[in-house]
Structure 1
Amino acid sequence: MDRPWLDPALDVEARIDALMAVMTLDDKVGQTHQVANINPYEDVEALRGGRIGSSLYASGATAGNERDEGVLAGVIDEIQVLAGESRLGIPVLFGRDVIHGHRTVAPIPLGLAASFDPELVRLAAENAAAEAVVDGIAWTFAPMLDLSEEPRWGRVAESFGESPVLASRLAAAATQGFQGDDPSRPDRIAACAKHFVGYGLSAGGRDYDTVSVGENTLRNLHLRPFRAAVEAGVLSVMAAFNDVDGMPMHAHRHLLRDVLKGEWGFDGVVVGDWNGIGQIVFAGVAADDREAARLAIEAGVDLDMVSGAYLAHLADLVRDGEVDEALVDDACRRVLRMKLRLGLFDGAAAPGTRPVGNEPTPESRALARRAAVGAHVLVRNEGALPLGDEGSVLLTGSFAHEGDVLLGTWVLDGRAEDVVTPAAALTERLGDRLTVDDGRFPDRTLQLARLADVTVALVGEHPNRSGEANSVSDLRLPPGQLDLLRTLAGLRKPLVVVVYTGRPLDLGEVLDLADSVIVAWHPGVEAGSALTDVLTGDTGPHGRLPMTFPLSTGHIPTSTHQRPTGRLIRADVDHREGRYADALTYPRLPFGFGLTYSEVAYAAPQVADAEIGLESATTLTVAVTNTGDRPCREVVQAYFRDPVAQVTRPLVELIDWSVVDLAPGETKEVTFEVSATAFAYFGADLSERVDEGEILLMTGPDAARLQDVSLRITGAEVRP
């Protein structure tokens, strides 16, 4: 065979070797160059010359905020034909932001995280991949794994929340969903773990801002979800826009090349973010794009997203002796490896080989509905919910008839007409018991509320207030909404408030005014169906908060990352009465919080063994009882605290959880397997270690309502 790299009988590395042996330096650089929205009519020579390795389809740098015309699969086919006519016949890799669905849009990732259901996240990603492939997409820039404790930052909507354990498990689930066991299958696409690393700590919650953090905190918190994705086989990792302690991540050799590629053994592609290499210049660390290209390739960025710095300068840098060609070889090999793993050389990208048809189906809608129900978190209920079988209901608010808005941020291919609106779903369920009002005229809304037995008010954020480049300085509801709620509450009639949002908000006054409050995030195409299920009790609420809700904007950061300080903190006193002269300090709604339509009592936790060694494990057991008169689904949570360690450790840290269904009056014992390695952390010298001594294991319904039991670890271990 004159092109052995096209022989599927050879293994991946042998095919790469055969191809690299005939590639020129310019060919290799071409594979490291990514363009935006490639045009087969304008870029013919570049394609036939092998100078474009990949392309993304997006409306621009902040594509989550602006829709484009969609992916034209026929154009992608034309491009692949042109690429096949090049000297080496290397296919082009096409990427697009398929963040929480393609045509069938699931809740935003923060809403998916509220389900505490990795299998649900896996299935949602699997469905998104199958739909995206139809349009010629082979690569998505998801999941986003930035740990988020800064709700002013708009991109928390794309995250899985603040907990390393929750985010890590959902990272692995999403990776598995997008890629499956065989990424070359016709219904799979490559995943991308982003943004590596620390982006969730951007100063002031401002997008693209600087990050001041030490490596110990990165290793003990922020790197953990990325490592989980790497261990799950993620094919690519995206560098973050931010710097880390003064070094832009696109030039951060230690974290990218030494830790990610070296220590972890990641053999996939490190891709830059949009113009991320060019932004090294903006950060003042490089004088021009040529220097930025050198810094980025040395740091370990394999693929240059749209800056053009690699195509313009990388070959000359090698010829001038400023960059070792081995670095370019390594980057090129990684890009080729990803293409081969995706089956692009074996016809996966060939015209006519892809599946057809990706409109929402009954099956995909059922999955989206299940996910949307899981995203609904009941955070207050003084008897207004579930809605009874009798009585009139007013549904009011600007979200009542909305379709597009309820899809949330970073939806490139979902369609407003596919969305089941709250008004449509509730009208079908309640019939003439329901009156719908869009809330444009508050005086009219007030008149209708006087006539209704229950008012359901839909409030919250437009998705353009969350996502990239949409940070806020104030976490209260957008202007005008609280005024209406105050007026409705003044009627002294049952008031249910549903909050659609992409971030935790300051809900203090909302919780005081309303009888019942639901945080629904932005729930996707089945928004109205899920809301109806929850309001009526057809499916009880069981979502839990994946991020802490602060008392106010001024209380940020407030999260389970809080560690002990030099002053002794008593959980029953200091969090409530100290630290601020003008305010209390405890969260308004803690991580993991969420109510059901019943009540669950927790017994004291027990461990099977009072002490365990480094190589052994024990079981943590807690009995939970449904003391109410309705069935419920409870998310039983397990936490731990390491009271004495080499470095400060979180006051509480999620270690595991279990979702159980309880009939009225039913008691179930929930058991968690706990090994000594679960308490491993990185010490002062950045070695991973497990210490001898006491561990407090805790169980409860959320991070604030916990009972503990002591476990002793015997022996100690340090792993370099």
Structure 2
Amino acid sequence: MTPTYLTAPDGTRFRDLNGNGVMDPYEDPRLSADERAADLVARMSLEEKCGLMFQTVIEVGEEGELLEAPGRISKSPTTTVVRGKHLSHFNVHAIRSARQAAVWNNNLQALAAQTPHGVPVTVSTDPRHAFVENTGVGFAAGPFSQWPEGLGLAAIDDVETVRRFADVARQEYRAVGIRAALHPQIDLATEPRWGRQAQTLGQDAARVAEFTAAYLQGFQGDALGPDSVACTTKHFPGGGPQKDGEDAHFPYGREQVYPGGMFEYHLEPFREAIRRGTAAMMPYYGMPIGLERNGVPIEEVGFGYNRQIVTDLLRGELGFDGVVVTDWELVNDNHVGDQVLPARAWGVEELSPSERMLKILDAGADQFGGEECVDLLIDLVRAGRVTEERIDVSAHRILRVKFQLGLFDDPFVDPDAAERIVGNAQFRAEGERAQARSLTVVQNRPTRDADHPVLPLSGAGRRVYVEGFRPEDVAELGEIVADPAAADLALVRLGAPFEPRDDLFLEAWFHQGSLEFPPGRVYRMRRIAQQCPLVLVVNLDRPGILTPFAEFASAIVVDFGSSARAVLDVLTGRVAPEGRLPVELPRSMDAVRAAREDVPSDTGDPLFAVHFGLELAVPAGQRADR
């Protein structure tokens, strides 16, 4: 049954979602979101209400068709989860084009219209406007405009740029039917080794709070409405202080620690998110160790299971009444091919899936992330272990957001408009300019044959040795040569160091472990610098130990997500770099190991301090900011 638009006797146009020919209260666009949600909850079956409480991965057909078989990561055919299990929240993965995504959204919403009450789907996404490609974290931009990572936005240190980014991303998401952002990620990057820093907004709690307000304004506006994208702010109460920097996706990273007593410091951005009306919150996987608040020990279980954190702190003390969605897979193990990732049931590993679900509900969560085990929840209700009234509370919160977004009134999008909006020339130019502005110059010395710093690179006619760039991308610098001994300048781009791991699902995508560059790489860079001046561009998705390079590189530029063109714009002086480090760059791994995970700028004597960055003296007439 596809709902039709009808006109009520008083002239009000509405979608007849249940096909009864009458404008029921939940179909009445004149009523408030709360009134409509209350009416619909009273009409829904237990199965429908339970289906609302799950959000899982979904994949897009090549031409926008619905996938009716398990995907690369998604577990069930689309019709099975929408009509069979009554799910209506999905985290979309790979998107090839704007038209593909828009056509798929419309197909998905048409399928959802065939459910008993025509509940529309809310499509969500992890970040997808930058450079990191990690199925467990976010996606590279693809057809969308491309901006620096969160750390790069923080490096620009301009609240208006954050707001503008969020507004552009909102318009592009909205055009293809994405109505929920599983971001901003406002964890404070106080532990240098932690592998999820790229999408954060730095380590400075007060500044991150300001960025958070701007981010939410850009996505949600003053209040959720038909033009908004609802934000899930994460990861409450702050996922940064992971023990030894290991990530809580994995069993060896389950512990979150506060040796410096800075728990309240990590809360500051979340307080601001609540004040600014974030639609949802997501607790992290981490299990707090040795944490007390007001003299009361906090239970040592993952935050998603923790009633003291979700109900007492988030809902009670901080007054949050929005949706709480857990991070992915707290109930069941995740099997993908021949790899497995255990359920992140930290501190409750011995509980059965049903018992984990009970503990999550008792903690105060509304929605299970990464799960589709609806029967498990229905069985708990029918067995009397969970009341239907408890289900109704979460169902109301979840439906309220759908109504606020206008999804019940019109969930469809225009594929032609999507093609015009997504990745348009203006948005791409703004994103690339932000990439260039975010570049952070931390070292700029004169060469042996000059009395001025090596940057900016002016003039032509030089011979250049290049690594990490395609020759055609840097051809404007001069003749590209294959031997640094024959070069006047070496330009090398390096990625941040990490320890490769690949035993558990997702592990290969996470950059973890030591921040030191391999000794052979340091040796090779030193040899290059002995033959010609060396300009290093280092992409940091988390801090790296740059100390060895600082001894011999003529210039070091830190990159938090920038195209080759954006880098060249800065190196040649066309765009002035504005970057200031949003995190400190430690001098050594010994300093990192001695630092406290929850304390910002705690590595003693860093090589480059937080907020450090050099300006480039561009000769008059050379600079032409785009």
Is the shorter-chain TM-score for this pair beyond 0.5, marking a shared fold?
yes
* Corresponding residue for residue 139 of structure 1: 180
* Corresponding residue for residue 304 of structure 2: 250
Maintained 8 Å contact 1:110/1:156:
yes
Maintained 8 Å contact 1:250/1:272:
yes
- Counterpart CA distance in 2 for 1:271 and 1:323 is 18
- Counterpart CA distance in 2 for 1:212 and 1:324 is 33
* Corresponding residue for residue 80 of structure 1: 109
Q: Are 1:97 and 2:161 counterparts?
A: no
* Corresponding residue for residue 33 of structure 1: 54
Name which of 255, 258, 266 aligns with 2:320.
Answer: 266
What is the number of residues matched between the two proteins?
538
Name which of 352, 376, 383 aligns with 1:288.
Answer: 352
Matches within 5 A, 1:532-681: 532-556=568-592, 558=595, 562=599, 585-597=604-616
Cα distance change on mapping 1:538 and 1:213 into 2, 3 Å: same
How much does 1:465 deviate?
A: 7.3
Unpaired stretches in structure 2, ≥5 consecutive residues: 1-21, 60-65, 69-76, 131-140, 290-299, 333-342, 446-452
Matches within 5 A, 1:474-485: 474-477=514-517, 480-485=520-525
Cα distance change on mapping 1:559 and 1:259 into 2, 3 Å: same
Matches within 5 A, 1:391-406: 391-398=461-468, 400-401=469-470
Q: Are 1:3 and 2:24 counterparts?
A: yes
Give the number of the structure with larger relative contact order, counting CA–CA contacts within 8 Å between residues 6 or more apart: 2
* Corresponding residue for residue 459 of structure 1: 494
Matches within 5 A, 1:127-276: 127-186=168-227, 188-208=228-248, 209-213=253-257, 217=261, 219-245=263-289, 246-276=300-330
Maintained 8 Å contact 1:34/1:306:
yes
Deviations 1:12-38 (A, max 9, x none): 111111112212222211110223217
Maintained 8 Å contact 2:236/2:281:
yes
Write the letter of the residue equivalent to 1:82: L
Maintained 8 Å contact 1:40/1:75:
no
- Counterpart CA distance in 2 for 1:503 and 1:45 is 40
Unpaired stretches in structure 1, ≥5 consecutive residues: 60-66, 402-422, 438-443, 565-574, 576-583, 599-627, 634-720
Deviations 1:53-95 (A, max 9, x none): 2111226xxxxxxx98996432332221122122211111111
Deviations 1:135-182 (A, max 9, x none): 321112111111112222221111111110121111222222222235
Write the letter of the residue equivalent to 1:296: I
- Counterpart CA distance in 1 for 2:35 and 2:284 is 32
How much does 1:391 deviate?
A: 4.8
Cα distance change on mapping 1:135 and 1:562 into 2, 3 Å: closer
Name which of 468, 483, 489 aligns with 1:445.
Answer: 483
- Counterpart CA distance in 1 for 2:403 and 2:260 is 36
Deviations 1:38-62 (A, max 9, x none): 7564443653467212111226xxx
Matches within 5 A, 1:483-522: 483-491=523-531, 493-522=532-561
* Corresponding residue for residue 473 of structure 1: 513
Name which of 33, 44, 52 aligns with 2:79.
Answer: 44
- Counterpart CA distance in 2 for 1:476 and 1:215 is 24
- Counterpart CA distance in 1 for 2:613 and 2:621 is 15
* Corresponding residue for residue 295 of structure 2: none
Write the letter of the residue equivalent to 1:184: G
Deviations 1:290-347 (A, max 9, x none): 10111111111111123234x1222332333322333211111111011112111110
Name which of 369, 378, 381 aligns with 1:305.
Answer: 369
Q: Percent of aligned positions with the same letter in both sequences?
A: 29
- Counterpart CA distance in 2 for 1:365 and 1:353 is 18
- Counterpart CA distance in 1 for 2:314 and 2:117 is 31
The two structures, once aligned, show a CA RMSD in angstroms of 3.2
Of the structure 1 ranges 289-298 and 252-261, higher mean CA displacement relative to structure 2 is found in 252-261
How much does 1:221 deviate?
A: 1.4
How much does 1:261 deviate?
A: 1.9
Cα distance change on mapping 1:238 and 1:392 into 2, 3 Å: same
* Corresponding residue for residue 106 of structure 1: 147
Write the letter of the residue equivalent to 2:147: A
Cα distance change on mapping 1:448 and 1:359 into 2, 3 Å: farther
Cα distance change on mapping 1:490 and 1:174 into 2, 3 Å: same
- Counterpart CA distance in 1 for 2:433 and 2:604 is 35
Write the letter of the residue equivalent to 1:83: A
Give me the TM-score of the superposition, normalised by structure 1. 0.69
Cα distance change on mapping 1:203 and 1:344 into 2, 3 Å: same
